[in-house]
Every structure is written in C-alpha cells, then in structure tokens.
Amino acid sequence: MRRAYKFRLYPNKQQEEKLFWTLNRCRELYNAGLQERKEVYKYAGKSISYYEQKRDLPEIKEIRPEYHDIHSQVLQDVLLRLKRAFDNFFRRVQNGEEPGYPRFQGRNRYDSFTYPQSGFFLEEKHITLSKIGTLRVKANRNVEGTIKTCTIKHESGQWYVTLSCEVNQPEPLPPSHEDVGIDLGITHFAALSHGEFIESPRHHRRAEKKLKKLQEALSRKKRGSHRRKKAVQAVAKAHRKVRNQRRDFAHKASRKLVNRYQVLVLEELQTSNLVKRPKPKQDEATGQYLPNGAAAKGGLNKSISDAGWGMFTKMLQVKAASAGRVVAFVDPKYTSQVCSKCGVISPKTLEERWHSCACGCELDRDTNAAKNILNKYYGAGSVPQIPPRGATVEALAF
Ligand SMILES: [Zn+2]
C-alpha cells in the first residue's frame, strides 16, 4: 500500500535559486521532448517511445553540459511524465473523450520534479537532495514504510516535498457487528442512521469567511501593483488553510466511522451535478427571466463543494479497504422523500428539515434519509411491497 507525506521545505536563497533553475531545465527538457514527439510523428508518421528518448539523455548532456548538474533519474522522470501525458491522450482518444493534446509547459504550469528512486536522504529536520543540497524540512509526522519517490514542488510561493512510501498492509480490524447508513448533507456534514450527526467544526466556517473576504479585497487591487501581489499571497495562504482543515477533518471523521462500523452505506452522489447553477427560467408571456432561487442555490452550491464530500468518501473507501470493512453505494432516488418506517412518499422541499409521517414516524429529515440509505442496501427490508393508499407507484421502485 502506498502512503504519501507532504512537508514544507525551507530552502535558503541559493538553494531556492537552484530549485528554480532545476525546474526550468526540467521544463525545457519536457518541452523539447514534446517537440520531438510531435515532429517525428509529423514527418515520419510514427511514435517515439520513452525508451528512445531516455537513450538520448547522455547525448543531450554532451550538447548541454549544465544538465550534468541535475540528478539523472530526475531527468528520466521528466521523460516519463511526457510518456504518461501521451498515454492519457491516447486513452482519451480511444474512449472517445475530449482528447486534449499534451501541451507545452509554461513557467507557471511546470512546478515540480521527482526523484523516482534515489538521490534523496531524509533526516529529522533536513533532506539532502542530490545536486541541490541539504534543505531544512518541517517533517511534522513520522514517515512510515520505505520511501519510494520524492517530489519537490513549488506551490503558491512555497516549496514542498512529497514522499511516497510503501507501507505494509495494516492488520484488518476485528469485525464489527454494527452497520450504518450515512447521509452527507449541508445542515450537518453527515447524518447517521442511528440518529447521530457529524458536524463540521465551526472554525472551518471562520477560515472560509476570511478566505472570502481576502478574495474580495484582491479583486479591488490594481493589476500589477505591489498591493495586489501581497493580496495574492494572502489569498493563497488562507486557501491552503481551508484545504488543510478540510483534509484533517475528513481524515478524522472517516477514521472514526471505519473503526466502528462493518458496513458503511452512502448515496451515490454526483457532486458535479449538484454544484451546477440552475438554468434561469423565462416567463412564457413576457420573455423576461424569472427569479428561480439561483442566488439561494449559489450559497448552497458553495456549501456543497465546501463540505468536501468527495474527499471524505475517498478516504472512507481507502481506510475501509485496509481495515476489511465494506463501503457500499446506493441509488439516491427518494432517500429523503420516502418514510423510512412505512415506505410512503412524503414530498418535502429543501427547507423542510423534519420528517413527519402519518404512520407516526417523526425524525430529522437527514436521519430519515440515512435510515433509507441503509434500508436500500439491505434490499429495502422495511419497505412494504404494496404501497399504502396515497403513495405513488414510485414507492415500489424504491
Ligand atoms: Zn411513515
């Protein structure tokens, strides 16, 4: 199993210059390799392989001796990235997707280089990089397993190192006899079928508010001004903070759930559909656009993307897989509309937070949904097959 660690690097001035220099040489090599691939295809009608390009590296070093100042595996990795870009391109073509031909890389796009096997050495507070030097690193977690690759990245004005490690498969957790339906939402980060809620911490909202303010301030600054530059940095910093908070929270929440439950059931959610803005409605008579709650949904959209469901779900799956737990997905149809006790559909608007059914079922809207999600996984065991009077046939489809 692979695990990645990302730490901040603190190069001194000279080291930073060397890092930028290395990045630029790598980018140059990438673009040259791309050019070659293009030309060979254009004039000879054939594809050039990674291995052919790799074989040319010694020759390149003869013509451009400064390339001796870069670890040779770093250069090989540049060509490997190019190969992957082409592999992805051909795969997209084959699948009939939007192909997107590999692009020449500008200064701002090409922001990392990788030591794929060797050429780096990590100590407590330092990392030694071949041909660059010994840099200060803030390693705030213990690195477990064997380090396989080391990537240096320049990201919003700061340097980071990502170490990808091979770790032994952890022992699966002892089986649990509890299972849970999980409804991911906006009012609560998650509602559980047993009636508990997982809330996202209050300080997240604060950090997000601050980010929003800084973004607004940035939009008022003049292009190219010193103040704008400062504002850009402030936004980047706040953005990082929000991102890190969300990641930490998702880690903790998913860990807790996986430790406790054997089967974890969620809705299959198409977040990309949910965050789309609604189409404006036109008045048939006048042709004027009608208010359709677009503004309200905009706020909602923001919360949806903020909640980071995708990241959370992914972590849940990864942790469950190594613990021997099961994460399952069910069709989200009617999960919030159907009564989890009797199966009758009781339509609600988004504003209605309470599920109240004629059968006597009284539940938080999201708890009801979480119960339905779990029921669906077990073949809707508690839903009667004959819809009671007043229910639509659709209840059967549930
Ligand atoms: Zn009911």
For residue 176, the CA-to-ligand 1 centroid distance in Å is 30
**Which of 327, 381, 336, 378 shows the shortest CA–CA distance to 357?**
336
Residue 285: both structure tokens together: 């008579």
192-215 pLDDT, tens per residue?
999 999 988 777 778 888 888 988
**In angstroms, what CA-CA distances link 133 with 117, 144, 159, 198, 291?**
17, 24, 14, 46, 61
The DSSP code for 65 is G
pLDDT at site 248: 85
48 with 86: CB under 8 angstroms?
no
For residue 360, the CA-to-ligand 1 centroid distance in Å is 6
213-223 pLDDT, tens per residue?
988 888 888 88
Distance CA 235, CA 217 (A): 9
Mean pLDDT of 136-164: 91
pLDDT tier at 188, thresholds 50, 70, 90: confident
Distance CA 184, CA 162 (A): 30
List, as ranges, residues with CB under 5 A of the ion ligand 1. 339, 341-342, 357, 359, 361
The DSSP code for 46 is -
In this predicted structure, the answer to whether residue 275 has a pLDDT above a threshold of 50 is no
Rounded (10°) angle between helices 226-260 and 309-323? 40
Mean pLDDT of 333-357: 89
179-184 and 263-267 beta bridge pairing:
parallel
pLDDT tier at 370, thresholds 50, 70, 90: very high
Q: Mean of the per-residue pLDDT values for the chain? A: 84
* Residue bearing tokens 């903070």: 241
For residue 297, the CA-to-ligand 1 centroid distance in Å is 29
For residue 359, the CA-to-ligand 1 centroid distance in Å is 4
Tell me, yes or no, if the pTM score tops 0.85. no
Mean pLDDT of 283-306: 46
For residue 108, the CA-to-ligand 1 centroid distance in Å is 57
pLDDT at site 144: 83
Helix and strand element counts for the chain (H, E): 11, 16
104 CA to centre of own chain: 25
237-272 pLDDT, tens per residue?
888 888 888 888 888 999 999 999 999 999 986 654
For residue 345, the CA-to-ligand 1 centroid distance in Å is 8
pLDDT at site 339: 94
For residue 273, the CA-to-ligand 1 centroid distance in Å is 30
Q: Which residues contact 294 (CB under 8 A, 6 or more apart)?
A: 277, 278, 280
In this predicted structure, the answer to whether residue 186 has a pLDDT above a threshold of 80 is no
329 with 267: CB under 8 angstroms?
yes
For residue 340, the CA-to-ligand 1 centroid distance in Å is 7
For residue 344, the CA-to-ligand 1 centroid distance in Å is 6
pLDDT at site 153: 97
For residue 309, the CA-to-ligand 1 centroid distance in Å is 29
Distance CA 157, CA 394 (A): 55
The neighbouring-strand residues paired with 281 are 290
pLDDT tier at 13, thresholds 50, 70, 90: very high
**In the chain, what are the helix, strand and coil shares in percent, each to the nearest 5?**
45, 20, 35
Residue 70: both structure tokens together: 């870069």
In this predicted structure, the answer to whether residue 9 has a pLDDT above a threshold of 70 is yes
In this predicted structure, the answer to whether residue 393 has a pLDDT above a threshold of 60 is no
Q: What percent of the chain has pLDDT over 70?
A: 85
